[in-house]
Amino acid sequence: MSAQGNILVVDDDSAIRTVVAAALRRDGHRVTTAASVAELEREMRLGEHDVLVTDVVLPDGNGLDLIPALIEAHPGLPVIVFSAQNTLATAVRATEVGAFDYLPKPFDLDVLGQAVRGAVAKRRRQPADLPDVEEGAGPSLIGRSPAMQEVYRVIARVVSNDLTVLITGESGTGKELVAQAIHDLGPRRRKPFVALNMAAIPRELIEAELFGHERGAFTGAAARVAGKFEQAAGGTLFLDEIGDMPMDAQTRLLRVLQSGEFTTVGGARTIKADVRIVAATNKDLAALVQTGHFREDLFYRLNVVPVAVPALRERRQDVPLLARHFLDRAAEDGLPRKQIDKDAVAVLESYDWPGNVRQLENLMRRIAALSRDEVIDGAAIRRALGEAGAPAPAMAPDPGIEAAVRARLERIAIEEPRVLDDGTLYDRIIGEVERPLIEAMLARHAGNQLRAARALGINRNTLRKRLDTLGIEVAGGRQDGAE
């Protein structure tokens, strides 16, 4: 991506305008200059600018005060501010008003050049053209991959009958949504859909939860309570994490499925069970049967119609659609509306998603809530994946700083003996040592540049400059220095 753009430089000091404009032109940018707020406003009206670089104190106004209105009129315009008022208050205010970067005067032209390149790259970021999400009838099960088409085919076969369905799939693949879809699209849709997660309630309470109990049935049973079977009457009972059901409860459930009736805990009351059973598990139930942890007869009773929900990595082509869906949903919930660029889509598509759709949903919401950019790029996605505790794909594990540095030095000595006395010794050795040192510290601090700089004992801006010079891509953590 070209990092050259149209830059507007504003300063009332003509010497600074000249020097800055010359430096930016040398980097290939097209530069216009202005000496006052009035000139700045005229230039903004006349031309398209990718980046605004402005001083704070101008003869007819304050550069910082202009920023909110300028950004509103030119959404996404990065503004780089430089100022001789080098106070913390100015720096904080620059961030508050939405400046892209703040450089205290006097500044290094290289640092300015780097900030401008970053700003142009941000400006040029194009949102990827994500597929539209069609709102279908019933619950929003998103996905057009062949693997999801197969799931839809099975759902379509069972909605109008009462066959027991066993949904399998990894955690977060959407098993509960599938169960809900079976309910919502079938004749029981006007009756309750009741879910019970076997893994979420104490084992000794599962039977009482399922079948209800009479007053005084056990210590603490102060009143008669209807169980899930009763609550779901006429509707659907979703038994989640069925693999965690204790043996006693399995035996009772099997009896209910065979007889169509159940008795409450502690009571002689027999109630007809008018529910459709849909069960789900992320465990291998057949293997649990083999090891004696799940009743074989119950397994066959439940597994009348199996539905296998694919892991997200088995249907990567659905990822852009789902990403779009979750960004839309986040915006509907009042979070800022964000888009992602092509690089971000590529990162999302190549990630393995151990937490499946749930993980993608959480990531999109987190990005919508926390990112300052309107269009999110691949580096930001990698960082967010790294922060979420998952391994950052492009970041090598911390190899141990000493080992990394030693390996570099050995490489110079062994592979390139010539460079040891060719007059570039200092730069070569320092350069070779610096890279693994910075990479190792960044890896150790999950890509957080502020923490890595602190640990190295160098200024964050110095670190940023070195990253740029050495061409080190930061894959995990945050670049903006926030903690």
Ligand X SMILES: Nc1ncnc2c1ncn2[C@@H]1O[C@H](COP(=O)(O)OP(=O)(O)OP(=O)(O)O)[C@@H](O)[C@H]1O
DSSP letter for each residue of 322-341: HHHHHHHHHHHTTSPP-EEB
Q: How many CA atoms lie within 13 A of 69 on its CB side?
A: 9
**Interface with ligand X, residue 142, by CB under 6 A:** yes
Q: Which is nearer to ligand X, 174 or 378 (CB)?
A: 174
How many amino acids of this chain bind ligand X (CB under 6 A)?
17
Measured from the CB of residue 155, what is the shortest distance to ligand X in angstroms? 12
Question: x/- string (CB under 6 A) for ligand X, residues 224-243?
Answer: ----------------x---
Measured from the CB of residue 147, what is the shortest distance to ligand X in angstroms? 11
Exposed, middle or buried by CB within 10 Å (0-12, 13-18, 19+), for 289?
middle
Task: Return the range that interacts with ligand X (CB under 6 A); candidates 60-68, 106-114, 167-175, 299-307.
Answer: 167-175
Question: x/- string (CB under 6 A) for ligand X, residues 345-374?
Answer: ------------xx--x-------------
Task: Return the range that interacts with ligand X (CB under 6 A); candidates 108-116, 135-143, 346-354, 459-467.
Answer: 135-143
Measured from the CB of residue 373, what is the shortest distance to ligand X in angstroms? 25
Measured from the CB of residue 358, what is the shortest distance to ligand X in angstroms? 4
**The dihedral sign for the CA sequence 383, 386, 392, 397:** positive
Question: x/- string (CB under 6 A) for ligand X, residues 300-339?
Answer: ----------------------------------------
DSSP letter for each residue of 382-396: HHHHHHTTSPPTTPP
| Residue 130: DSSP 8-state | P
Measured from the CB of residue 314, what is the shortest distance to ligand X in angstroms? 13
- Residue number, nearest CB to ligand X: 174
Distance from C-alpha of 238 to C-alpha of 232, rounded to nearest angstrom? 9
Distance from C-alpha of 243 to C-alpha of 481, rounded to nearest angstrom? 45
**Interface with ligand X, residue 171, by CB under 6 A:** yes
- Residue from 173, 339, 371, 448 touching ligand X (CB under 6 A): that is 173
Measured from the CB of residue 403, what is the shortest distance to ligand X in angstroms? 39
Placement of tokens 């032109």 in the chain: 25
Instruction: Output the six-digit token pair for 48.
Output: 């398209």
- Residue from 63, 169, 212, 310 touching ligand X (CB under 6 A): that is 169
Distance from C-alpha of 215 to C-alpha of 220, rounded to nearest angstrom? 9
Distance from C-alpha of 362 to C-alpha of 357, rounded to nearest angstrom? 9
Q: Which is nearer to ligand X, 127 or 139 (CB)?
A: 139
Q: Which is nearer to ligand X, 115 or 357 (CB)?
A: 357
Measured from the CB of residue 362, what is the shortest distance to ligand X in angstroms? 9
**Interface with ligand X, residue 174, by CB under 6 A:** yes
442: amino acid identity, one letter = L
Residues 6 or more apart whose CB falls under 8 angstroms from that of 270 comprise: 261, 262, 263
Q: Which is nearer to ligand X, 262 or 353 (CB)?
A: 353
Long-range contacts, stretch 385-390, CB < 8 angstroms, 24+ apart: 385/347, 385/351, 385/476, 386/446, 386/447, 386/475, 386/476, 386/477, 387/446, 387/447, 387/476, 387/477, 387/478, 388/359, 388/362, 388/363, 390/354, 390/359
Site residues (CB under 6 A) for ligand X?
140-143, 169, 171-177, 240, 282, 357-358, 361
